[in-house]
Chains A and B, each alone.
Chain A
Amino acid sequence: VITQSPATLSVSPGETATLSCRASQNVNNKLVWYQQRPGQAPRLLIHGASTRATGIPARFRGSGSGTEFTLTISGLQSEDSAVYYCQHYNNWRGTFGPGTTVHIK
């Protein structure tokens, strides 16, 4: 089971958002973050808990290990308004967290 908190986050442009993801058991580093903007398909952000995908700006930072993970978005921009999901995928099965919705004030 994957849980995420908070469910919703409202932040001002330029501020930092901190999103949490917790797994019910050790997932090692098999933890991926996706962003889904309104009306768009999901987009890969982070894999291996902390490695940015190609083309993802450095203001997106993933951290954590074991069961506790964090996605930190610094210098928030209007385009960052989206739902962010963490996901564990192992042995050909995937589990997404419920998501955190980030609103830009």
Chain B
Amino acid sequence: QVQLVESGGGLVQPGGSLRLSCVVSGLSFRSYAFQWVRRAPGKGLQWIAAISSDGNYKTHSDSLKGRFTIARDNSENTLYLQMNSLTVEDTARYYCARDFYHETTANDVFDIWGQGTLVTVSS
């Protein structure tokens, strides 16, 4: 069956870095764009970044101020999120999600999600 499994979260000190991974199985990874979304404690969902199927096009939330970078390795069916200069405000559960384009409504939807990996930034 289709699975998206995130890993790489954990406790990190302010100013530190982490690289999250999302291993995808059960679908043709190289055929789809993917996204990262997070949810901080007591807050709502926040869109973080998107990457095209071939990895050549990437966008990131302006609010991250260039600290995060999305990447993918189609030979390893893996999506990545490199996070630098972490602050306590980055404490959240981070989700990867498949981006599926519905031609009937011309909408991109995040239709398959992982269970997330928890990142805690604290001294």
- The interface of chain A, by Cβ under 8 A from chain B, is 29-32, 34, 36, 40-44, 47-49, 51, 53, 83, 85, 87, 89, 92-99
Contacts and interface: CB of A to CB of B under 8 A. Distances in A.
B35 to A, nearest CB: 7
B113 A94 contact: no
For A51, A87, A93, A94, which residue has the most chain B Cβ atoms within 10 angstroms? A94
Given A29-B105, A92-B50, A85 B110 contact: no
Given A30-B107, A32-B107, A41 B116 contact: yes
Contacts of B95: 41-42
Contacts of B106: 29-30, 48
Contact of B47 (A29, A41, A93, A99): A93
Prevailing SS type, chain B contact patch: strand
Contacts of B114: 41
Contacts of B115: 40-41
A51 B105 contact: yes
B40 to A, nearest CB: 12
